[in-house]
Amino acid sequence: MINETTLVQHYAAVRQRIQAALEQNGRLEHVQLLAVSKRQSAEAIRYLATHTPQREFGENYGQEALEKMSQLGDLDLIWHFIGHVQRNKTRILAEHFDWVHGVDRLMIAQRLSEQRPPHLPPLNVCIQVNIDNEPTKDGCQPNELAELVTHISPLPGVCLRGLMVIPAPENTAAFSQTADLFQEMRALHQQPSHWDTLSMGMSNDLEAAVAAGATLVRVGTALFGERL
């Protein structure tokens, strides 16, 4: 497990990488860093959250995340679910998370909408796009995106914020292709001001993602080291 001093150093290095990519591409916007904390300890999350400005954490496994949420309930953290959304797991996500990045079917969005408790703010969601058309990868096809945006936008209980992709490593054009889709879909969103999140880029390719217009990068290994 990575030691605490190194964790803070890694955080600073990742923030520097993001800032350098912004400056190199003439972007003035802020890019959100999502710390991917799956299979990392609650203690590591606590240390990062109390020694840096990091407040947003991404988890792939519902039960593991719930245990961490319980242990870290005294901290003001924002929890993102970034794994594949199974039909029988939507209630856990709707009741406990702030964001869900992997919506790729209308039925999933409808279940999240119906199961979001009324006392909570709308659940922020992103549509996952299979930009490479890979048969083993989750996500809707690009030609299905317009219909999904049109039908998910008005659902109560959820707030559609944008797109998420995990492109194949060799597909260098995927980020710019997704950025183009992101701009095209803004016109279909019933509340364009909420269409503000382009979730793409990870530890090994965040610079390319930022260059293409990412507003949020999902970084795990470069922060925490290899998973437990």
For residue 17, the domain's CATH number is 3.20.20.10
Helix or strand run (H / E) with residue 197: strand 197-199
Query: In this predicted model, what pLDDT tens digit does every residue of 163-208 receive, in sequence order?
Result: 999 998 878 799 999 999 999 998 888 788 899 999 999 999 999 9
The predicted pLDDT at position 2 comes to 66
**Total domains, the chain:** 1
Tens-digit pLDDT profile for residues 93-149: 999 999 999 999 999 999 999 999 999 999 999 999 999 888 778 899 999 999 999
Residue 227: pLDDT band (50, 70, 90) is low
Backbone angles phi and psi of 36, in degrees to 5: -85, 105
Instruction: Inform me whether the pLDDT recorded for 226 exceeds 80.
Output: no
Please indicate whether residue 30 or residue 5 has the higher confidence score (pLDDT): 30
66 three-state secondary structure: helix
Domain holding 57, by residue range, is: 4-224
Alpha-carbon 85 to chain mean position: 13
Exposure letters 67-91 (e unless 16+ CB within 10 A, then b): ebbeebeeeebebbbbbebeeebbe
Q: pTM for this one?
A: 0.95
pLDDT of 172 reads: 78
